Amino acid sequence: MRPAETRLLDLRELRAQDLAPVLESQVVHWRDRFAWDCRAGVQTIHRMLEKRLLHGRALVRAGRPEGYSYFVPEGGTAIVGDLFLRQATESGQQEKLLLESTLNAAALHRGIDRVEGQLLYLKQLPSLQPALGGTLSAYPRVLMLRRGPTGSRPMGRANGMRYSPWSDSLLHEASELIAATYRGHVDSRISLLYGSVPGARRFLVQTTQHSASGQFFAPAGFVAREAGKPALRGLCLGSIVGRGVGHITQLCVDPAARRRGVGSELLQRSLSAFRQAGCGTVSLTVTASNSSAVELYGQHGFRTVSTFPAFVWQRA
């Protein structure tokens, strides 16, 4: 018996209904694995498929789509938004074929000099061969979960800091804080959004207003200021990503205010807000090499449950 033929197709060659079984499997996968509800994001993908606007590749076996990966061009950067297969292979060969084809399609897209992505579905980055050469770098990241009630209550005024709830009026100040915090940080190599004030602003707008991966939860957002000084020193934001599941989308502290308990206090306040909203589980992602952050989250009851790759391809 001949093995089933495997092909890679441009997503724009498919109708939305062709990929519907794969998208339905994706919703079930993330619900069963982490209790995340990704239906809103999947519905967005479905709409883009209907309009033939989604760039990427579908993996088809025996005439039936089994997986897909897509990218979104943003200026000179293409962001690989996702990769999913209904059934993973032990060898990882299908994952490799799908991601490599998507990476090469993104690199060949007009005006693109950089491709980046963070793919929770994968355990590690396959050995890829970019068609245009260039440099491909991988950065392991971890998904951490915290289950159960918070272990302690927020302290109030901690170490001369004042804490207040998040407000959209803080958008510019928060953008400046993120850009300053991540200057020279590994995360600014993973995502260009962290490398500048305009980029950080786009990240915040996406997180607070347009996120397809969860619903922004303003009560879990807090900022810290040093008493008598106007500049923000810390920021924590959160979203609801499933029934009873919260997610820390951003936690950063100005380098000048570190080792004073600011990050811990902000995190406790967010956890308390999630608890009051009925969230028994809170998740977050962090770059594995950011040992101080991993240690902080561990002290607050977060445990690593999954490792996944972030990657960056840069044209030579």
Q: Whole-angstrom Cα distance, residue 246 to residue 296?
A: 18
Please report whether residue 139 resides in a domain.
no
Strands 114-118 and 77-85: parallel
Q: Say if residue 151 is in the same domain as residue 276.
A: yes
Please report whether residue 298 resides in a domain.
yes
Neighbours of 185 (CB within 10 A): 15
Please report whether residue 198 resides in a domain.
yes
Eight-class DSSP state of 5: P
Query: Does residue 44 sit in helix, strand or coil?
Result: helix
- Match 């109708």 to its residue by tokens: 15
pLDDT tens for the chain, 316 residues long, are 345 688 999 999 999 999 999 999 999 999 999 999 999 999 999 999 999 999 999 999 988 999 999 999 999 999 999 999 998 766 689 999 999 999 999 999 999 999 999 999 999 999 999 999 999 999 999 999 999 865 555 555 567 899 999 999 999 999 999 999 999 999 999 999 998 999 999 999 999 987 667 899 999 999 999 888 888 999 999 999 999 999 999 999 999 888 889 999 999 999 999 999 999 999 999 999 999 999 999 999 999 999 999 999 999 8
Structure confidence at residue 4 (pLDDT): 64
Please report whether residue 140 resides in a domain.
no
Mean per-residue pLDDT over the chain, rounded: 92
Q: What CATH number did the domain enclosing 31 receive? A: 3.40.630.30
Structure confidence at residue 149 (pLDDT): 67
Q: Say if residue 128 is in the same domain as residue 149.
A: no
Q: Say if residue 115 is in the same domain as residue 169.
A: no
Structure confidence at residue 255 (pLDDT): 92
Contact 81, 112 (CB under 8 A): no
Which residues, 6 or more positions from 127, have their beta carbon under 8 angstroms from its beta carbon?
A: 96
Which residues form the domain of 247? 145-311
Contact 278, 117 (CB under 8 A): no
Which residues, 6 or more positions from 45, have their beta carbon under 8 angstroms from its beta carbon?
A: 23, 54, 70, 82
Q: Domain end: 109, 133, 157, which one?
A: 133
Q: Say if residue 94 is in the same domain as residue 165.
A: no
Contact 141, 118 (CB under 8 A): yes
Q: Domain end: 133, 153, 169, which one?
A: 133
Q: Say if residue 38 is in the same domain as residue 115.
A: yes
Structure confidence at residue 159 (pLDDT): 72
Q: Whole-angstrom Cα distance, residue 156 to residue 222?
A: 12
Q: Say if residue 172 is in the same domain as residue 286.
A: yes
Q: Whole-angstrom Cα distance, residue 245 to residue 278?
A: 8
Please report whether residue 108 resides in a domain.
yes
Please report whether residue 64 resides in a domain.
yes
Please report whether residue 89 resides in a domain.
yes
The number of domains in the chain is 2
Please report whether residue 302 resides in a domain.
yes
Q: Which amino acid, 293? A: A
Q: Domain end: 103, 133, 163, which one?
A: 133
Neighbours of 55 (CB within 10 A): 20
206-249 pLDDT, tens digit per residue, is 999 876 678 999 999 999 998 888 889 999 999 999 999 999 99
Contact 22, 193 (CB under 8 A): no
Q: Say if residue 292 is in the same domain as residue 168.
A: yes
Structure confidence at residue 98 (pLDDT): 96
Structure confidence at residue 1 (pLDDT): 37
Q: Say if residue 106 is in the same domain as residue 171.
A: no
Q: Say if residue 68 is in the same domain as residue 162.
A: no
Structure confidence at residue 91 (pLDDT): 66
Q: Say if residue 150 is in the same domain as residue 128.
A: no
Q: Say if residue 93 is in the same domain as residue 154.
A: no
Q: Say if residue 87 is in the same domain as residue 152.
A: no
Please state the pTM of the whole predicted model: 0.92
Q: Whole-angstrom Cα distance, residue 283 to residue 81?
A: 19
Q: Which amino acid, 200? A: A
Query: Does residue 312 sit in helix, strand or coil?
Result: strand
